[in-house]
Amino acid sequence: MITDELVRAALKNVVDPEIGLDIVNLGLVYRIDVLEDGRVVDIDMTLTTPACPAGPQILDQAKREVLALGEVYKQLQDVRINLVWTPFWNPSLMSEEAREELGFF
């Protein structure tokens, strides 16, 4: 069955093209729920800024990466990406590795 960890691993393939880091380590993924016995994955995520020019691309790629899990987990039928702005993203949400790579200490 699809798990939160599998979804996070898939989302690590989604890289913010302006920053060069994946959306999980950037702290853009706030919530992942696997629902209906793995048929639906519901994700709350944000962008670094509401004016992010790569936003549509990032959201589309996130959905595609998680839907690709359906090749192995045949029960997966739908992936819902909810763009949220609360809490507003800030660098403290990044993983330690991401902060180090970008020079935030």
User: In this predicted model, what pLDDT tens digit does every residue of 43-82 receive, in sequence order?
Assistant: 999 999 999 999 999 999 999 999 999 999 999 999 999 9
pLDDT digits (tens, 9 = 90+) for 91-102: 999 999 999 998
Instruction: Give CA–CA dist 3/15, Å, rounded.
Output: 21
Q: Helix, strand, or coil here: 84?
A: coil
Torsion of CA 45, 94, 23, 36, to 10 degrees: -50
Per domain, the residue ranges of the chain are 4-99
Q: What is the CATH number of domain 4-99?
A: 3.30.300.130
Torsion of CA 20, 48, 89, 101, to 10 degrees: 20
Q: Which two tokens stand for residue 14?
A: 């989604």
